[in-house]
Structure 1
Amino acid sequence: MDSLGIVESRSIAAGAVLADIMVKAANVTLVKAGTICSGRYMIHVAGDRSSVATSVAAADGAGYALAGSYTISNISRQVIDALKRPIAMAGHGALGVVECRNVSSGIVAADKAVKRSTALLARIVTGQGINGKSYFVLTGDVASVEEAVDAAKESLGKNLMEAVVIPSPDSSVINAFVVRPT
């Protein structure tokens, strides 16, 4: 599995149908499907590029209103890991926080950010409790985090809410945004 397909439906009921359409359209694995704030439904499928593209295209063509749909080839392992749980962060480098208008474009931007720089993706927060938006947290040296944040901003365009880089954050700020090692 080298690709991730993301479909963000504007309707929960339509999301259930779309998840079914997507897994039946191609040989993909349903990684995650569920509600997010604002009455949206998020679907993640994984597989080879061709299968994931076919699955996402089937959702795009189904006639339901989507907030976003993407196929990410050669998905960064950091993104997959961060979607599962926050990553423990050691040391004090810079902290970058990128806030996005929706979930699907935020995941794409996080992937582009870590592919362009040596910054580490510490956390992705998707939709729940934040009105259908998403944000992700990057760590590393200042130059790497700035480069990653710039890549995310370019990727997001009008879907960018705000992006910041904190050069030497206080440990309490790091603890608020990232799980620290024990």
Structure 2
Amino acid sequence: MDTLGVVELSSIAAGAELADGMVKVADVELVRAATLCSGRFIIYVAGDREAVETSVNFARAGQKRLTGSFVISHVSPLLTAALKKSEPALRGEALGVVESRFVSIGINAADIAVKKSEVRLLKFVAGQGITGKSFFVLGGDVAAVREAVEAASESLGDKLVEAVVIPNPAEAMARALTGGVR
């Protein structure tokens, strides 16, 4: 997957209809089309850049329920892996937690973070059970995690809820955030 398109809507019904149109208008893979808390809907499409841009531009054209959309080229493999499954933290590594008001912009911020610094993207949580917000957890040495968290925070602007760096997390806390420690 070279390019990822992310579209977020404030309506489940409009999202279902839009996802159908997005895959019909361009040769893209529908990676995810799902409900989020607070009655929102998220759509991920993947493929080559031109096809993904066509699909996302279709979504942007006249869709009143759109709350966010992004096209991420040369998407980091760390991001695509984290969207599928969490990674355990390593003993002694610093953790960064970045929380966003929306899923779509949170995905973009996570991609920016892992491209900015030598960190691992351990977990990405998209909307369900957290009132439609998103958060992600980064791991690495303290300086790298700080740099990545700062880059993500800057990209989020007023959509940032909170961002923290935990330099030496307790093992129980690392396990709680990422699902494991190794």
TM range (shorter): over 0.9
Could you list the runs of 5+ residues in structure 1 that have no partner in the other structure?
Answer: none
CA offsets 1:48-76 (integer angstroms, 9 cap, x no match): 01100110000001423111000000000
Residue 60 of structure 1 corresponds to 60
CA contact (8 A) 2:123 2:137 kept: yes
1:38-95 deviation line (CA, Å, top 9, x unaligned): 1000000000011001100000014231110000000001111101111122222111
Whole-angstrom CA distance in 1 between matches of 2:49 and 2:118:
25
Match of 2:155 in 1: 155
- Give 2:60's aligned amino acid: D
Q: TM-score, normalised by structure 2?
A: 0.97
Aligned twin of 1:170: 170
CA deviation string 1:103-142 (max 9, x = no partner): 0000000000000000110000010010000000001000
Computed over aligned residues only, the root mean square deviation of the Cα atoms, in angstroms, reads: 1.0
Give unmatched runs, 5+ long, in structure 2: none
Q: Aligned partners of 2:81, 2:64: CA distance in 1, in Å?
A: 30
Task: Determine the C-alpha separation between the residues in 2 that align with 1:68 and 1:137.
Answer: 21
Report the AA paired with residue 32 of structure 1.
R
* Matched AA of 1:107: I
Partner of 1:95: 95
Whether contact under 8 Å (1:18, 1:62) holds in the other structure is no
User: Where in structure 1 do 4 or more consecutive aligned residues deviate above 6 Å?
Assistant: none
Pair 1:80-2:80 in alignment: yes
What amino acid is the match of 1:81?
A: A
Quote the residue 2:25 is aligned against. Answer: 25
- Contact 2:91/2:171 (8 A) holds in 1: no
Q: What is the rounded CA distance, in whole Å, between the counterparts of 1:12 and 1:73 in structure 2?
A: 27
8 Å Cα contact 1:14-1:64 kept in structure 2: no
User: Does the 8 A contact of 2:171 with 2:181 survive in 1?
Assistant: no
